[in-house]
Structure 1
Amino acid sequence: MFDPTSFPEPTLISVNGVKLEVFDAGAHNAGRPVVLCHGWPEHAFSWRHQVPALFAAGYHVIVPNQRGYGNSSRPTEVTDYDIAHLTGDLVALLDHYGYDDATFVGHDWGANVVWGLAQLHPHRVNKVINLSLPYMERGPVPPIEFLEAVFGGDLYLVHFNRQPGVADAVLEANTSRFLRNLYRKNEQPAEPAPGMAMINLALAETPRGEAVLSDDELAVLVSAFESSGFTGGLNWYRNLDRNWHLLADVDPIVRQPALMIYGDRDTVAKSENLTDFVPRADVVSLDCGHWIQEEKPEETNEAILTWLEQQES
């Protein structure tokens, strides 16, 4: 039996040619699976506030560290982190548990994977709940090419692709400081400094704003990334153009019921045409920044559980 006062113990599960470190709770609630998908640079632990709430509501909660993270496999080939592999892991995880489909919840990069999963494997997804990152319309040119032309080579998305290994080394040399400086809220607006934002964060002596994580929570993340490094997660970014090609002939419409949760202070822009591509989307906005489920755990839980209840009624 899962103790709701602590995070579940992990199991290593072989799926899709890799091993995933999976935390699950509520197996006795079989038939009501909810899969929680973290972003970058996150960890299954980022869902610690949602697991007990979903468990108590009668769901089988499945929380993988996706490939490249925690104690999950970290393949060496960049192409092993494309959207086909990432969504394939989740489909294989459903197969492992014997489920035809599930509700998938994603934050940040995890949301991007869930949007892709709903397109590539629509019959395996019964509902979508995504935080921070809305559905992104497929543009006329590969995204890195577009972003580089508009924002230049210092944009972190471009930098990760054009200078592989550079950011990885800086973040790994400054893991604790980088994560401490990144997980902040209520930062005052400031002019962006020259250079690459993530490297600047890793080297900054003083954090801005207020801490999102307690010292103990931050220590969990620091320990995980000191062990895994950052390259696996950064390789997700290095497949943005490849993913653009892989999704070229896929139906762009996400037809499942969907809940989009925004943080009003998030630097990720809200979608102006979400329902053009996700026609059954409902939207909730919370007064917080990017780390939605950690900044506003109770409000996030309420939004998720209320919406799920509405879908089942």
Structure 2
Amino acid sequence: MPSTRTISANGIELFLLEQGQGPLVVLCHGWPELSYSWRHQIAAIADAGFHVVAPDMRGFGRTSAPDDVGAYSIFDTVGDMVALVTALGETEAVIVGHDWGAPVAWHAALFRPDMFTRVAGLSVPPPFRGRARPLDSLRAGGVTNFYWQYFQTPDVAEAEFERDVATTMRKILGRGVSDPAAMFVTEDKGFLGNIPPVLTLPDWLSEADIATFAEAYRHSGFRGGLNWYRNLDRNWDLTAPWQGAQIHQPSLFIAGSRDSVITGLIGAKRVTELDRVLTNLRQKLIIEGAGHWVQQERPDEVNAALIAFLRG
């Protein structure tokens, strides 16, 4: 069983799940998730001979959630992981990220190749910094109802998601981003309005899992995680020096074939062009039939790929 502790790093308190001894592996979760999202990976990777830490990321769960929206940029979130490695007394680590954790992992590898010697991203391809800010690009393309846009105005999505937290978690995890209908928000329906009720949970998600997520979000609220989306354009501005940069460390990409993040027009193109950014891509694993929550849905296949990659 993983142990828990809280570590001071980069000016915040990071809550961790931790297990094992050996080379350090950092697992970065996404939205709306927790370190608990890695429950099937932590012991398996620890048993393979590694020291595994899975933090609640900045703004999530039992980790600090700064009030300032500007405190959730990619520099802050990568800075947390750099400071965490240092606080653990290490100089090197392998970093693995899923969903929003994947951009953290990819950028950690870009910003600090001396520290992050291998990198794996799940569900979200590596950064292709486009020619314009993401939200500007959506508007220019005539898109006004993408969920990124709905998340921009403080208090709107928070109020919707916090009205009934258990239902929110059932809908987002039980169907969620694997359902393309969830990506676009119908006026007056909110984010959840296009997602049908989830009467029966998928076999990989239990009522106890939902209760764990719901309890955490009733306590923390949703603002911290939503603030990551409120830095999308700012992150584009901040990463200008890395325009066209490549990641040369050994890398791994894993996604589910039914994940709308990689089946949409932009995502599908990025997945076919991974080697433009990842010059040392060891494996591209698309798990047939899996959706967006790939490490929870298909833990055996994800664990096997991660451990093989870590042993490299």
Q: Same fold (TM over 0.5)?
A: yes
Q: Where does the alignment leave 5 or more consecutive residues of structure 2 unmatched? A: 263-267
TM-aligned CA distance change 1:120 to 1:194, over 3 Å: closer
Question: Deviation string for 1:156-183 (max 9, x for gaps)?
Answer: 111212x222111111112111110111
Contact map agreement 2:147 2:183 (CA 8 A) in 1:
no
Query: Partner residue of 1:274?
Result: 274
Secondary structure, counterpart of 2:233 in structure 1 = helix
Question: Deviation string for 1:232-260 (max 9, x for gaps)?
Answer: 00000111111111110126211110000
Which amino acid in the other structure matches residue 182 of structure 1?
A: I
TM superposition shift of 1:275: 0.2
Contact map agreement 1:175 1:202 (CA 8 A) in 2:
no
TM superposition shift of 1:142: 0.6
Secondary structure, counterpart of 1:21 in structure 2 = strand
Which amino acid in the other structure matches residue 268 of structure 1?
A: V
Query: Partner residue of 1:17?
Result: 11
1:301 aligns with 2:303: yes
Higher mean displacement: 116-125 or 146-155: 146-155
Higher mean displacement: 270-279 or 60-69: 270-279
Query: Partner residue of 2:234?
Result: 242
Secondary structure, counterpart of 1:268 in structure 2 = helix
Contact map agreement 2:166 2:214 (CA 8 A) in 1:
yes
Contact map agreement 1:107 1:130 (CA 8 A) in 2:
yes
Higher mean displacement: 63-72 or 197-206: 197-206
TM-aligned CA distance change 1:60 to 1:191, over 3 Å: closer
Which amino acid in the other structure matches residue 235 of structure 1?
A: N
2:34 to 30, 34, 43: 43
Secondary structure, counterpart of 1:123 in structure 2 = coil
TM superposition shift of 1:305: 1.2
Which segments of structure 1 move beyond 6 Å, counting only runs of 4 or more? 186-193
Query: Partner residue of 2:74?
Result: 83
TM superposition shift of 1:308: 2.2
1:104 aligns with 2:95: yes
Query: Partner residue of 1:125?
Result: 116
Identity of aligned residues (%): 38
C-alpha separation in 1, matches of 2:221 and 2:183: 26
Which amino acid in the other structure matches residue 137 of structure 2?
A: F
TM-aligned CA distance change 1:160 to 1:198, over 3 Å: farther
Secondary structure, counterpart of 1:49 in structure 2 = helix
TM superposition shift of 1:205: 6.3
C-alpha separation in 2, matches of 1:87 and 1:197: 36
Question: Deviation string for 1:237-295 (max 9, x for gaps)?
Answer: 11111111111012621111000001101101242211011111121111200000010
Contact map agreement 1:254 1:277 (CA 8 A) in 2:
yes
Aligned residue pairs, count: 300
TM superposition shift of 1:196: 6.2
Higher mean displacement: 96-105 or 182-191: 182-191
Two-structure CA RMSD over aligned residues (Å): 2.3
2:192 to 196, 201, 226: 201
Tell me the TM-score normalised to structure 2 length. 0.90
TM-aligned CA distance change 1:19 to 1:196, over 3 Å: farther
C-alpha separation in 2, matches of 1:98 and 1:299: 31
Contact map agreement 1:65 1:72 (CA 8 A) in 2:
yes
